Structure 1
């Protein structure tokens, strides 16, 4: 699964992972408002074999498949989804 990552300009170390570039249609409006302006960071191939620093790839993939996005918060903050 190709994954597109956006960083929040409002909140440091907060990232939004999407399955399609620039498609925020599955992200709730209230979350987008809190997230602020989204700046494209990078894209990568998401697979369960991939090692990620702050999340399990399988959890990210599951959230994207179920919700249409994954929100990564800074370390020590509770995940919202």
Structure 2
């Protein structure tokens, strides 16, 4: 199955993308999703097929998401290791001074 897809990037969260069928009315998406995603910005339009390779997500999962719930939300990759995260917490929050 081939799907012509519009891919939107989130201005709120870097690395978050929303895949929908081209021409889909974004205002019909769940309100909670739109609030979390923020103002969508069109990144590209792409023909998705099962043979297509995507950088960070399985194309079959994207197609299935669009078919079953009208969209697929790609979350940003976890780029911060737990060690880096802990280093960003102020010592006062860790009980240290």
TM range (shorter): 0.7 to 0.9
Following TM superposition, by how much is the alpha carbon of 1:20 offset from its aligned partner in structure 2, in angstroms?
2.4
Equivalence for 2:50: 48
Q: Spell out structure 1 runs of 4+ moving beyond 4 A.
A: none
Give 1:8 shift. 0.5
Report the structure number with the largest CA radius of gyration: 2
Q: Comparing both structures, which one devotes a greater share of its residues to helix? A: 2
Aligned partners of 2:10 and 2:37 also within 8 Å: yes
- Count of aligned pairs between the two proteins: 77
| CA RMSD across the alignment | 1.6
* TM-score normalised by length of structure 2: 0.73
Return 5+ residue gaps in structure 1 as ranges.
none
CA distance in 2, matches of 1:63, 1:26: 15
